[in-house]
Structure 1
Amino acid sequence: MNSVNNLLQILQLTHLKDNQFEGVSKTVGSPNVFGGQVLAQALNAAYRTIDNHRVLHSLHAYFLEAGHLDYPIHYDVSVMRNGGSFSVRRVTASQNEQTIFILSASFHKDEEGYAHQIAMKSDIKQPEDLMSWSDILNEYGSMLPPKTKTFLEIPRPVEFKPTHIPNPLDRKDLPPFTDIWFKLKGNIGNLELAIKQQILTYISDYNILSVAIQPHASKAHWGNLLTASLDHSMWFFRDFDLNDWLLFSLESPSTGNARGFAKGNIFTREGTLVASVAQEGLMRSITKS
């Protein structure tokens, strides 16, 4: 996948019957199905059962088993509630009759209320002044660790620009926070909010666990850790434009017991808070270093 059109094709599920759907997978460089893909496809399935114009405001999910790239994923949506203001859906994802993922999503009618938000950092470098993952690969590819180089070579529908690029050969602990700009590749056009939320959910599973590894970078890295998303939650606050860069501002309050916790806020370039994300992931050491 190397453009938004490729991503939209993956996120759009085939309707089987009633509230049952089927999706296919594309690799992002790992041997298993990318967690963000399952999140976004499950959200697509849930949205397909909403017919009263309500908009997603939160989702909460658990990853139960690794997804196999070669098998289709079946999504079964249960209607949990259709209330006066909120609609709740539960989505179960399975492969070969084994449940691999569950998601709960809540949708809210358009309603007026008090509003405030936290401010985006004022000293953030703009994306035009930063190197993208593609730039890093082109300029430093021959010096990168093999696994990092292979990962960056995978075609993606999203371009990422970290505000700080740590040297993978400089083994030192780093602060538990980072900021990453991201933008879709290709002609995006005007997408409805439901589709934009599915895309943002897909992207939200990128980079988030890496911030939990940073404070341990003198010893821990992707080569000597077994990592996996355990759960994932998102809260959606406002509409947004995917035609411009968005900022994912991440921090990791805590790691321990072979688990890392990370959370983040997604802002527009103008500083509007779009969504918040939280995830806990497995961080199990597999070698001594």
Structure 2
Amino acid sequence: MPESLEDLVELLDLEKIDDDLFRGRQPQTTAQRVFGGQVLGQALAAAGRTVGEDRIVHSLHGYFLRPGDTSVPIEYHPELIRDGRSFSSRRVVATQRGKTIFYMSASFQVPEPGLDHADKMPDDLVPPEEAPTLASVFEAASGRKAEDWNKEWAALDVRLAGLTGRQFWIRASGKLADDHALHACVLAYASDLTLLGASLLPHGIIIGDRRIQPASIDHALWFHRPFRADEWLLYDQASPSASGARGFATGRLFSQDGRLVASVAQEGLIRPIGLELDDEEA
């Protein structure tokens, strides 16, 4: 994974190899498959390169079809589905070695005024300045060194915001350029990092447990209000259901001043491997 924010920005800066065809490079990583957030962010970057600067992404829906190979670049082909007066629709297909590993639909809108309401941000949170880093929590829970986490995830600053393990402060580890498309891609990348783990918490399991085979299946993200990915965002997560070796989780992202800026939903594989199930789960 990117070892710094600069590496992440480079990862999201796709190479144009033909009209409506882009190539995304791979970072150095010990992971055996491509991180889902990387594919989300790169696919969104490819879609954004085909719309006017007056249009801002407001939603995306993606499906992970095959594990991505970390040793091979990914090609992204955005299809121009529709350009209307207010909205633009794109479909992006990601391939490796001629096989589709992911596809995504995304919608962009010219900003306009309208009715406005939103959920309130949860209270009783640990301020980000006082919250433990996810690297330190990872070290305490797994026994692996915090440096192992930082080697893969240093591009993001992630901290535990509550005792339940379902609330995190998250931001880019440094300053980003004033480019709304870049901030959206970084948030898409970050939104996949902790969400699937929310469906394991009711069972007392953490995402790195070797008794579980985890993988993202699909991912949806809605952008509600302007934000900066290099400023603290509260990622408030919940898991309404787990069944059939799949976990379903939702998330709300709030700015530090309490504005709801994005919502997320994801279903992922949480297949038990050598994990004893009780009668209700079996």
- Alignment TM-score > 0.5, same fold: yes
Indicate if the aligned counterparts of 2:159 and 2:168 stay in contact, CA closer than 8 A: yes
Indicate if the aligned counterparts of 1:2 and 1:155 stay in contact, CA closer than 8 A: yes
Whether 1:224 and 2:222 are equivalent positions in the alignment is: no
> Partner letter of residue 122 of structure 2?
K
Q: Out of 148, 161, 185, which is 2:173 matched to?
A: 185
> Partner letter of residue 198 of structure 1?
C
Indicate if the aligned counterparts of 1:179 and 1:250 stay in contact, CA closer than 8 A: yes
Q: Deviations over 1:83-132 (max 9, x none)?
A: 12110000000000000000000001121111111100121111111111
Percent of residue pairs identical: 37
Q: Structure 1's 29 and 54: CA in aligned 2 closer, same or farther, altered over 3 A?
A: same
TM-score relative to the length of structure 1: 0.88
Q: Structure 1's 60 and 4: CA in aligned 2 closer, same or farther, altered over 3 A?
A: same
> Partner letter of residue 184 of structure 1?
A
Q: Deviations over 1:148-201 (max 9, x none)?
A: 874455352001101246xxxxxxxxx7x7100012213x14421111000000
Q: CA deviation at 1:238?
A: 0.9
Indicate if the aligned counterparts of 1:86 and 1:107 stay in contact, CA closer than 8 A: yes
> What's the C-alpha RMSD, in Å, of the aligned pairs?
2.2
Whether 1:285 and 2:272 are equivalent positions in the alignment is: yes
SS in structure 1 of the partner of residue 68 of structure 2: coil
Indicate if the aligned counterparts of 1:130 and 1:163 stay in contact, CA closer than 8 A: yes
Distance 2:230 2:152 in 1: 22
Distance 2:102 2:67 in 1: 9
Partner of residue 58, structure 1? 59
Structure 1 gap segments, 5+ residues each = 166-174
> Partner letter of residue 161 of structure 2?
T
Q: Deviations over 1:192-251 (max 9, x none)?
A: 111100000000000000010011116996210111000000000111123421110000
Distance 1:198 1:218 in 2: 29
Deviates more, 1:243-252 or 1:7-16: 243-252
SS in structure 1 of the partner of residue 190 of structure 2: helix
Indicate if the aligned counterparts of 2:196 and 2:207 stay in contact, CA closer than 8 A: no
SS in structure 2 of the partner of residue 74 of structure 1: strand
Partner of residue 172, structure 1? none
Distance 1:279 1:66 in 2: 17
Q: Structure 1's 260 and 149: CA in aligned 2 closer, same or farther, altered over 3 A?
A: farther
Indicate if the aligned counterparts of 2:176 and 2:183 stay in contact, CA closer than 8 A: no
Distance 2:148 2:256 in 1: 30
SS in structure 2 of the partner of residue 154 of structure 1: helix
Distance 2:172 2:125 in 1: 20
Deviates more, 1:210-219 or 1:233-242: 210-219
Q: Structure 1's 7 and 52: CA in aligned 2 closer, same or farther, altered over 3 A?
A: closer
Q: Deviations over 1:1-28 (max 9, x none)?
A: 3332111000110001110000112256
> Partner letter of residue 77 of structure 1?
P
> Partner letter of residue 68 of structure 1?
D
TM-score relative to the length of structure 2: 0.90
Distance 2:257 2:192 in 1: 23
Distance 1:150 1:130 in 2: 20
> Partner letter of residue 17 of structure 1?
D
Aligned length: 275
Q: CA deviation at 1:30?
A: 2.9
Distance 1:218 1:51 in 2: 44
> Partner letter of residue 229 of structure 1?
S
